[in-house]
């Protein structure tokens, strides 16, 4: 007698979602034979704990990729799958290479159903059809209010690659989804660069969407045919439910066009044998009544649905408000003739519905409240108080003037459109077209052809594309830029070994000593002779360090040296640089932007020239004054220039903190104290990413950051006695948590041990940015210990050494770690207490 083959037992609530996509409950041993028959490539577990060893072993033996996403067990109180988790799962589901795929939760009901609902939304199913399917699998065959709202407001970005399965949109890929944020890197880059999907030039519109009504209707009808046939096939033969099934299939389709549009594809479907006439479709009355029959009806419907149509005045007002909220609406080199009003209107239109814009509105409201409070405080200033303040502030002015130092020769060198210039150098075809380095999400830099359209760094790429449709994108290649930067820094080191790099493409050099030692060899290049020196011998000398030079000669020689620096940079990299030369860092930084591109500007090294320069300078041009400080100064005190700052000095001391007021006074005189070259006080590493909330993925990200931070500390030979965990959530709110340590740490493991504990205390979190900061730095050579060192010492055979280690740590380790939380500082102006 033949032995009976083991039964094929599917998991509880097992069902087919789409071809190659299955759903159900947690699979056990008895289900594995059934799952093996499916030929699975992927299993997605959406459960509170990691999958059991049975499931893990099964997947390992069958070479199935197992993904675990954290989600609490279903409760009727709230949805336990975060939007970020659902988005990450969908990105796996909509890749053909991952199919066949089985997705499950504990019972195959609500948790899995939430993910499938979002998938249906991505497929552009109607809410009615989506919820109807959802209810078939829930315990009570119903849907909670939170679940319905979850579907309605779901707004996470979904990445869809070229490997999308045929059933997702019936093979028709669109660049803009009607209800969701869909990111398709290959199509977006092709669209951005006016290339087809194969990378070939396309003179017309890229074929990345439904180009005509016929094409779109054909796709819709193919989807309808598939949906209706699948449902009819599942029904009992001869069932009276066929009509209802067809209506449900129609409800699933993105039918938003007129009935006339359907006629354009009549020969495709009506005469194809599926139905003899349109009447057989039993088009639902509510759908038919809402479908516009012509463009006029469509416009009418848009108006009746409350679509906003701003007047020019309203649009201008909105744009003006926008300019105060976004850094990328500010001027940059090469944007002198840009229509700012147009740029601001486009930015407002393209960003008004984003989370970032909403956060910017909240931040702007706080600034408005702050301005109002300052105005109220200013109103309380009596004439007597103002006179007293003026006397006190003028005494500070005398002190600042007495300490003014005009003896230094400082230069700030700023590479011209660095990332873009490197790409243009390596690909000459890019030189004459508007170019952006980055993508549709964010632009790192642009060339001057793009800046003429108002497109600049820190701007989202999709806004840049709206401003300049012919904008061409290339991806960021940071390793290449760093290699070029190393060549440039080698040039800087020839003139100032202690130069300070502000960024990968900008640095500050103090040429004071170099000028004093080498000025003779540059006299000819500066167009000077010894006779010039004798003619100027009556001038007052500025400093004993350069007592052999007059001010005019020092300016000329500094200019010649900087020309040589810029030429050397060009010779070794074929890239141009701009520079500013002045008596301090603040002024040199401002001057470096004066003659861009490929130029330099020298601000005369005299008190009169400095004061004249700062008097007419817009406050936004001053280093450390950002959009918030500019708005506060403009609206609270009607301050717009450096001269206004000085004129209103006593009022500034009345409404600002003393630290900020002193800083603004120094700025108004261009007499900021010279920044001494001190050792760094902290090191930090941050990374941005798409929303993450899975604890394990967050921990992995934290580990990666700590590895990078440890390398930075190693290069600087530093260790840290304070470790901070920095994060930004999906609402763009930024915060930090820190812990003070008894013994300094510097290894990746020790940094991670402290940072991950701070992370763990904050869970659950959904983050889009994470960072780790190391501060309270000490030299690694002076008594620093790591956890590894301590363990090694405790395990050593020398009992006396063990006792010394125990005693040392017993004396210094606090009973509980000192944990501090704070709002993170995002800008120079906040660091200055503004």
Residues labelled as active-site residues? 506
In 10 A of CB 115, how many CB atoms?
A: 24
Residue 556 CB: number of other CB atoms within 10 A?
21
Q: What's the token pair of residue 78?
A: 């709230």
Contact predicate 110/142, CB 8 Å: no
Residue closest to 661 by CA, chosen among 410, 406, 408, 400: 400
Task: State the virtual CA torsion across 43, 44, 50, 55 in degrees, nearest 10.
Answer: -20
Rounded to whole angstroms, what are the CA distances from 800 to 114, 229, 565, 807?
Answer: 62, 83, 60, 11
Q: What is the CA radius of gyration of the chain?
A: 33
Among 520, 551, 272, which Cα is nearest to 406's? 551
Over 773-829, what HEC string results?
EEEEEEECCCCCCCHHHHHHHHCCCCHHHHHHHHHHHHHHCCCCCEEEEECCCCCHH
d(CA 478, CA 411): 26
Burial class (CB in 10 A: 0-12, 13-18, 19+), 303: exposed
Please tell me the distance from the alpha carbon of residue 131 to that of residue 248, in angstroms, as a whole number.
12
**Residue 685 in tokens:** 């590493």
CB count within 10 Å of CB 721 equals: 17
Helix (H, G, I), strand (E, B) or coil at 369: helix
- Whether the bond between 597 and the residue before it is cis, its omega within 30 degrees of 0, is yes
Q: What are phi and psi of 765, to 5 degrees?
A: -140, 145
CA–CA dist 410, 438 (Å, integer): 33
Length of the chain: 834
Exposed/middle/buried for residue 705 (C-beta within 10 Å: 0-12, 13-18, 19+)? buried
């Amino acid at each position: 007698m033949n032995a009976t083959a083991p039964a094929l037992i599917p998991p509880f609530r097992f069902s087919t979602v789409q071809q190659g996509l299955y759903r159900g409950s947690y699979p056990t041993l008895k289900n594995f034979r059934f799952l093996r028959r499916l030929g699975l490539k992927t299993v997605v577990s959406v459960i509170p704990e990691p999958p059991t060893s049975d499931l893990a072993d099964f997947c390992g033996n069958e070479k199935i990729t197992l993904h675990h996403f954290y989600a609490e067990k279903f409760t009727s109180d709230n949805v336990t799958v975060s939007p970020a988790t659902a988005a990450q799962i969908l990105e796996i589901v909509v890749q053909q290479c991952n199919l066949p795929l089985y997705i499950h939760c504990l019972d195959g009901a609500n948790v899995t159903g939430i993910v499938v609902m979002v998938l249906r939304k991505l497929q552009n199913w109607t809410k009615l059809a989506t919820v109807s399917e959802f209810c078939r699998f829930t315990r009570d065959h119903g849907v909670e209010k939170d679940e319905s709202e979850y579907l309605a407001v779901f707004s996470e970005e979904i990445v869809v690659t070229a490997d999308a399965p045929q059933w997702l949109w019936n093979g028709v890929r669109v660049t803009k989804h009607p209800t969701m944020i869909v990111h398709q890197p290959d199509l977006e880059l092709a669209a951005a660069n006016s290339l087809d999907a194969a990378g070939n030039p396309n003179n017309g519109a890229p074929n990345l969407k439904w180009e005509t009504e016929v094409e779109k209707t054909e796709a819709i009808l193919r989807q309808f045919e598939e949906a209706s046939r699948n449902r009819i096939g599942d029904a009992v033969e001869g069932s009276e439910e066929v009509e209802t099934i067809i209506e449900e299939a129609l409800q699933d389709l993105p039918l938003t066009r007129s009935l006339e549009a359907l006629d354009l594809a009549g020969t495709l479907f009506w005469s194809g044998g599926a139905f003899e006439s349109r009447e057989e479709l039993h088009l639902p009355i509510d759908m038919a009544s809402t479908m516009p029959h012509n463009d006029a009806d469509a416009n009418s419907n848009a108006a009746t649905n409350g679509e906003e149509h701003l007047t020019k005045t309203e649009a201008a007002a909105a744009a003006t408000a926008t300019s105060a909220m976004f850094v990328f609406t500010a001027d940059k080199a090469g944007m002198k003739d840009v229509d700012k009003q147009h740029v601001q209107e486009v930015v407002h239109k393209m960003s008004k519905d984003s989370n970032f814009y909403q956060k910017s509105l909240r931040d702007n409201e706080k600034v408005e409240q702050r301005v109002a409070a300052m105005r109220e405080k200013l109103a309380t200033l009596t004439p007597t108080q103002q006179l007293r303040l003026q006397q006190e502030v003028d005494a500070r002015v005398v002190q600042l003037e007495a300490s003014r130092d005009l003896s230094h020769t400082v230069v700030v060198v700023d590479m011209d459109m660095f990332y873009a210039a490197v790409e243009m150098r390596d690909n000459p075809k890019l030189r004459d077209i508007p170019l952006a380095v980055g993508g549709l999400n964010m632009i790192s830099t642009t060339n001057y052809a793009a800046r003429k359209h108002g497109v600049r760094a820190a701007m989202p790429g999709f806004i840049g594309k709206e401003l300049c449709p012919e904008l061409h994108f290339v991806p960021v290649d940071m390793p290449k830029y760093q290699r070029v930067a190393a060549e440039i820094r080698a040039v800087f080191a020839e003139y100032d070994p202690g130069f300070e790099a502000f960024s990968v493409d900008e640095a500050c050099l103090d040429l004071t000593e170099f000028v004093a030692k080498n000025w003779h060899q540059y006299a000819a290049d500066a167009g000077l002779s010894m006779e010039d020196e004798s003619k100027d011998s009556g001038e007052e000398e500025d400093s004993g360090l350069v007592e052999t030079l007059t001010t005019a000669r020092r300016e000329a020689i500094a200019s010649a040296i900087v020309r040589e620096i810029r030429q050397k940079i060009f010779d070794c990299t074929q890239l141009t640089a701009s520079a500013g030369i002045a008596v301090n860092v603040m002024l040199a930084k401002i001057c470096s932007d004066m003659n861009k591109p490929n130029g330099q500007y020298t601000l005369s090294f005299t008190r009169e020239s400095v004061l004249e320069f700062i008097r007419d300078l817009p406050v936004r041009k001053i280093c450390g004054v950002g959009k918030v400080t500019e708005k506060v100064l403009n609206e609270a005190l009607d301050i717009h220039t450096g001269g206004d700052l000085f004129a209103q000095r006593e009022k500034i001391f009345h409404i600002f903190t003393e630290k900020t007021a002193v800083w603004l006074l120094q700025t108004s005189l261009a007499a900021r104290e010279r920044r001494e070259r001190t050792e760094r006080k902290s090191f930090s590493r941050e990374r941005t990413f798409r929303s993450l909330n899975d604890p394990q993925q967050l921990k992995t990200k934290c580990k990666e950051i700590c590895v990078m931070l440890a390398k930075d500390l190693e290069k600087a030979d530093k260790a840290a006695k304070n470790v901070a965990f920095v994060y930004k959530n999906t609402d763009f709110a930024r915060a930090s948590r820190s812990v003070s340590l008894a013994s300094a740490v510097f290894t990746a493991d020790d940094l991670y041990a402290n940072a991950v504990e701070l992370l763990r205390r904050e869970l659950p979190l959904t983050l889009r940015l994470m960072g780790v900061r190391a501060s309270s730095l000490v030299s690694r050579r002076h008594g620093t210990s790591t956890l590894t060192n301590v363990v090694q010492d405790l395990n050593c055979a020398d009992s006396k050494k063990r006792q010394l280690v125990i005693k040392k740590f017993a004396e210094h380790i606090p009973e509980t770690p000192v944990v501090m939380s704070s709002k993170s500082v995002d800008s120079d102006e906040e660091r200055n207490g503004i």
